[in-house]
Structure 1
Amino acid sequence: MQSPTSTATKPPARAKNRWAKLVWIVPAALVLLVALVLAARWLRELPSVQSFLTDYPGESHLPATAPVGFPAWLAWQHFMNSFLILLIIRSGWLVRTRSKAPAQWTRKNQGLIKTKGSPVKISLDLWFHLSLDALWVLNGIIFFILIFATGQWMRLVPTSWDVFPNALSAALQYASLDWPVENGWVSYNSLQLLAYFTTVFIAAPLALVTGLRMSGAWPKNAEKLNKLYPIEAARAIHLPVMLYFVAFILVHVTLVMATGALRNLNHMYGVQDGDSWVGFWFFAGSLVTMVLAWTLARPLFLRPVASLTGSVTKN
């Protein structure tokens, strides 16, 4: 006969099944990856595909007036965007998954979120998420102004239709592990260009408009507007957009490290084209800053900051 203690500590069957499914994800992913590489290498042996790769090497030509290299402000923008998006993803995931908020925040001046009756309260996690969103939007506005003022937009926006076959060519080269020649200081390959364009001009605005729809700043009494843009639609889009950012970051960091780490880090952080360690040390400092911010982003440290703009109460 089993004791009550032994039955109480026995994990439920449902939890076991969930972990059993997760265990198979890694070997299944490895098998798919190997199959993809083999298929890509087989395709590259076909004469028609070799001809296609010759006609479309993987990079579209930029306009003659496109700038070369990266200015210092773009390196700073890259760091700020990475810093904010990391914490936005973390706080957004906590908002979605935490069953009990560590504290509630009430704005001192209700302003746009004022409603009839008692003041609106939101969780401390949601306050942090929305505060980060506001900083991210401000950073994004500065970014958009500067890229169009300096011509850097030409490195991010497709200007000819051959970007699509060239992107397919670059994808095939990546998949076969015989990667396209990288020269990001001058221009991105077409697959990178489309990925950056999607991130900057599609995913980021979608994150903004869906997040705004779910926030307290959205007008609750605008019946026609709310019917045209229901909150359920915003929720259905917001999470996939977050997952897109996670996937983009993972692939982006992997390729940065695998296609000439020192040179790539110099482009993004050192504002120079070369293989020195300058960009690496700036990158290392940014990682330390992110880890420190991730560690401090907890109720103990968030409460006093949140109390500067509202009242914070425990549940």
Structure 2
Amino acid sequence: MSTPTKKPGSATGKRSRLYWGVPAVLVALVLVVLLAKWMTGLPAVASFLADYPGHSELPEGAPVGFPAWLAWQHFLNGFFLLLIIRTGWQVRTSTRPSGHWTRNNNGLIKTKNAPTKITLELWLHLTLDALWVLNGLVFAILLFASGQWMRIVPTSWDVIPNALSAALQYASLNWPTDNGWVNYNALQLLTYFATVFIAAPLAFISGIRTSSAWPKKATALSKAYPIELARAIHFPVMIYFVAFIVVHVFLVLATGALRNLNHMYGGSDDAGWFGFWVFLASVAAMVAAWFLARPLFLRPIASLMGKVSR
């Protein structure tokens, strides 16, 4: 009796890659730490770290601390982003949709052609996208109106060597001094800038190109911005957001969890427990939304905006 041949890409192959991939990543991380420790021990590198401690000076008049609106924006952004990543992955990998949704053609916006039928998963993804973009617009307005933009927008070229200094300190496990209540380190500043002003807009412009909202008769525009390019951008941006969330949460918890959580959720620069409990409530809301985002609960909501079919 012959043994069946394992096909490439099978479940066994995936488990094998995972089995060897995790140790390989751990070994690579250890090597990075050892290399960084060796480098920071060199006189030239030590002098560089002394000249550039890891943070740039903020412009005069930069605000200190975090207003209450930023806590709400932070929660809503994380809430929508988590569900967007989940539904985006479902849209990408689902082979059997749980239902379909068709927009009503008797509302404020009417079209001559029949409305496009999309899966229920895609409807939820697009709905969350719209809410996330709306929240982002409110965030941007408040960010510039309050002066909080000065905390995440580079205003001096020394942010580059300071970011390199902060990266070396993180890699050597001799982490830079954390004082996010007053000023982020340069690596944090550049990361937040890239997330807010580069990754988020890229997610929007690539997402709308691949959605049913893109005008089908815009031939010249579609040719100038092909859907293949949008897809090549959209998935890597999702991977970036996943990596950002993982690293961001890890550093928040590893560099003084209570103080950091009070910064964002408690509105104070102390190590009390109020921010932790607010954060815990926000996590509970995210977990509840994750499990409630099922066809049983989605169909009644989707039917308010269109026709739902199984």
In the superposition, the TM-score normalised over structure 2's length comes to 0.96
Determine the structure 2 residue equivalent to 1:166.
162
Which structure 2 residue ranges, 5 or more long, are not aligned?
Answer: none
Cα deviation for residue 15 of structure 1 reads 2.6
> What is the identity, as a one-letter code, of the residue corresponding to 2:196?
V
Distance 1:15 1:159 in 2: 50
Is structure 2 residue 62 aligned with structure 1 residue 70?
no
1:1-315 counterparts in 2 under 5 A? 14-109=10-105, 114=111, 116=113, 118-314=114-310
> What is the identity, as a one-letter code, of the residue corresponding to 1:158?
P
Cα deviation for residue 235 of structure 1 reads 0.5
Distance 1:203 1:113 in 2: 33
Q: Quick check: 1:270–1:282 contact (8 Å CA) kept in 2?
A: yes
Q: Quick check: 2:65–2:182 contact (8 Å CA) kept in 1?
A: yes
Cα deviation for residue 268 of structure 1 reads 1.0
Distance 1:247 1:172 in 2: 19
Distance 1:49 1:300 in 2: 59
Distance 1:75 1:147 in 2: 12
Distance 1:156 1:222 in 2: 37
Q: Quick check: 1:59–1:189 contact (8 Å CA) kept in 2?
A: yes
> What is the identity, as a one-letter code, of the residue corresponding to 2:126?
L
Distance 1:193 1:144 in 2: 16
> What is the identity, as a one-letter code, of the residue corresponding to 2:289?
A
Q: Quick check: 1:114–1:120 contact (8 Å CA) kept in 2?
A: no
Q: Quick check: 2:55–2:186 contact (8 Å CA) kept in 1?
A: yes
Deviating beyond 2 angstroms after TM superposition, the runs of 4 or more aligned structure 1 residues are 10-15, 109-116
Bigger drift between 231-240 and 209-218 goes to 209-218
Cα deviation for residue 259 of structure 1 reads 0.4
Secondary structure of residue in 1 paired with 2:101 = strand
Secondary structure of residue in 2 paired with 1:60 = coil
Bigger drift between 61-70 and 215-224 goes to 215-224
Q: Quick check: 1:213–1:234 contact (8 Å CA) kept in 2?
A: yes
Cα deviation for residue 119 of structure 1 reads 2.8
> What is the identity, as a one-letter code, of the residue corresponding to 2:222?
N
Distance 1:253 1:113 in 2: 44
Cα deviation for residue 217 of structure 1 reads 1.4
Distance 2:201 2:137 in 1: 11
Cα deviation for residue 12 of structure 1 reads 6.1
RMSD of equivalent CA atoms: 1.7
Cα deviation for residue 289 of structure 1 reads 0.4
Deviations 1:174-205 (A, max 9, x none): 00000000000001000000000000000000
Secondary structure of residue in 1 paired with 2:242 = helix
Distance 2:237 2:178 in 1: 28
Q: Give the 3 Å change call, closer, same or farther, for CA 224–12 of structure 1 in structure 2.
A: closer
Distance 2:6 2:272 in 1: 52
Q: Quick check: 1:113–1:217 contact (8 Å CA) kept in 2?
A: no
Secondary structure of residue in 2 paired with 1:24 = helix
Distance 1:216 1:64 in 2: 46
In the superposition, the TM-score normalised over structure 1's length comes to 0.94
